Each structure stands twice: as structure tokens, then as C-alpha cells.
Amino acid sequence: IVPDFRADSTQGPLAFHDWAEGGWTVLFGHPLAFTAVCTTEMAALAALAPDFARRGARLVGLSCSPVEE
């Protein structure tokens, strides 16, 4: 089990355990915004988000970059 954490997100404040409760969660990370790999991986996961949602899974990505980036 991933430890609980709180973070600012592009969707507003996030309390991870509260947000993830009751379903499957895919937690992924990338080092910094606008790096070559992160841009393509984020776009690929965003495109697949409806498929994950149909299966009851939610996506959340972590980065070292500030929300504004």
C-alpha cells in the first residue's frame, strides 16, 4: 500500500487515500515536466484514460515539477 500523501494537483488539492478509495488506482511518476519521455508517456496515458475508467481504474501521475509547469 502506498503511504498516504497530500499534494496540489491540476485538479485541485489531492489527499491520495481519500481520492483512491474504493477502486483501482494507477500511480505513475516522471521526473520533470516537458522532458522528452514524460511528454509522450503523459499523452499516451491521457489517451488511455477512458479505457482505464471503463475498467474502474483511476490514473494519477507524480512529478517533481510544480503544478504550474
| Active site residue ranges | 38
Q: What is Dmax (Cα atoms) for the chain?
A: 34
Alpha carbons 53 and 60: distance in angstroms, whole number: 12
**Closest CA relative to residue 4, chosen from 17, 13, 18:** 17
Alpha carbons 18 and 51: distance in angstroms, whole number: 22
